[in-house]
Amino acid sequence: MTARIADSLGFGHLWGTPELRAVFDERARLQGWLDVIAALARAQAAEGVIPAEAAEMITAGARVEALDLDAVAEQTRLTGHSTLGLIRCLQAVLPPAAREHVYAYATVQDVTDTWTSTALRAVGGILWRDLRRLEELALGLAAEHRDTLMAGRTHGQPGAPITFGCKAAGWADEFRRHLDRLREGAPRWLVGQYAGGVGTLTGLGPTGLAVRARLCADLGLAEPAISWLTARDRVAEFGHLLALITGTLARIGEEVYELSRPEIGELREGQDAEVVGSITMPHKRNPERSEHLNTLARLTRAASAVLTEGTTSAHERDGRAWKAEWVALPEACLLTGTATAFGIRLLAGLEVDAAAMAANLERMRGASASAALLAALGRRVGPRAAQLALQEALRDGQRRGLGVAEAVAEAGLLGPGEVGPLVASPDPGAAGEMVDAVLTRAAAARAAEPACWPGGTEAAR
């Protein structure tokens, strides 16, 4: 039984993916800690801190399936120490010659912070893949609908014309910026930790830094210039990126949510035949994925805020910060991975109703041309005077039930020959050219970058 709905059999798929749960579930986390312990033993043996045969035995025995996990939990509760239960149970399965050398001269954070960096490497790889797929889908929509006219909307109200391709290109461009952030952030995030009690590796002499260098190299992580026990900006920054990614997906979800309203009807989620919109109102086709993207983003922002709190850690060690990360960081990663998976399904099946977009523009009775009319009149009387005159004429026309062309003509601001073409042919401005620019830049960036996240040691150096 589980008390968290996020872990339930029926609802867990809404809050995490199997791929990301495999990174953060208890057995994976414990194995990750054991991997760090084994790598530390190898690094210490290479520098003569512990015997080489002890390191070999520790490496061979550091397997989660070899441990009594009930005993690990019991010893953790008994000692009140985060990793002593794991140490004792690992010692119990090792030959006597190795037991004394397990976890030598190390602290909880040496193990857990280093493991966190390896977990971030796995999460970053998943997000890199998903963001590239999301960008690809958005670019496809942008190219297909480069010239598909629709009403642009500001403050929830229809305004000047844009194209749906322009909207989709904006999504793609935002995904590209997240990819840039992932690439640029790798050297800061994927960094090991071997610090000792207060960060100075006291007692290890000249071998301390050499062990740290070997540990980081063994695990494919960058070596820090200085210990970062209470410098939690790395984790906080990664959390910020997760909040940004889910924010982008929530923005897209909000567009689909709003534009799928029957009175607008411009976009619709693709739906499987088995999906039920409502058990009491069978006609409904609910935008479930779009809606859930907003929910995921809210929760991710909350978890990211907890990670940000850790940046105010005290002195040389402060368990309040990094222990909060143990809860908030996996949560934010699981939520973000779910959001990218939902976003991919949303964009891959998105239905675009170009006819509805055109009809909604037509229903505006020429109001979408007001910006073009303002420019035309502004060239004659000046932009400020034109704005005041048009606003007055259009407000009067609205009261009298007139269309834009009639209202402007009756006010004598522009002649029918000037107004007619502007109203008849909605002008999306430079939308097409901006779509082309996004497509061109994205194509160049995608051709130059690897399919897998360029994170890890190579990026860090």
The residue type found at 266 is: E
Locate 284 and state its tokens: 């409904």
DSSP 8-state symbol, 351: E
Q: Which residues of 197-223 are buried (b: 16+ CB within 10 A; e: fewer)?
A: bebebeebeebbebbbebbbebbbbbb
List 8, 117, 227, 278, catalytic entry = 278
Residue-wise burial string across 81-107, b where 16 or more C-beta atoms lie within 10 A, e elsewhere: ebbbbbbbbbbeebeeebbebbbbbbb
- Residue 12 Ramachandran class (φ > 0 left, ψ -120 to 50 alpha, else beta): alpha
Residue type, 431: A
User: At CB < 8 A and 24+ separation, what contacts does 231-234 make?
Assistant: 231/313, 232/307, 232/310, 232/311, 232/313, 232/321, 232/322, 232/325, 233/311, 234/188, 234/189, 234/191
C-alpha separations of 199 from 37, 105, 447 in Å? 18, 12, 42
Are residues 180 and 386 in contact, defined by beta-carbon separation less than 8 angstroms? no
CA distance linking residue 305 with residue 314, whole number of Å: 18
Collapsing DSSP states into helix, strand and coil, what is residue 162?
Answer: strand
Which residue of the set 13, 81, 101, 155 is catalytic? Answer: 155
Residue type for 230, please? T
Catalytic site residue 278?
yes
C-beta separation of 287 from 257 below 8 A: yes
Nearest to 266 by CA among 342, 154, 152: 152
For 120-134, give the DSSP string: HHHHHHHHHHHHHHH
Closest CA to 110 of 227, 219, 206: 227
Contact yes or no for 183/152 (Cβ under 8 A): no
Classify 436 as helix, strand or coil: helix
- Biggest distance spanned by C-alpha atoms of the chain: 100
CB 110 within 8 A of CB 228: no
Question: From CA 394, how far away is CA 406, in angstroms rounded?
Answer: 9
Gap between the Cα atoms of 84 and 64, Å rounded? 15
- Please give the positions annotated as active site: 155, 278
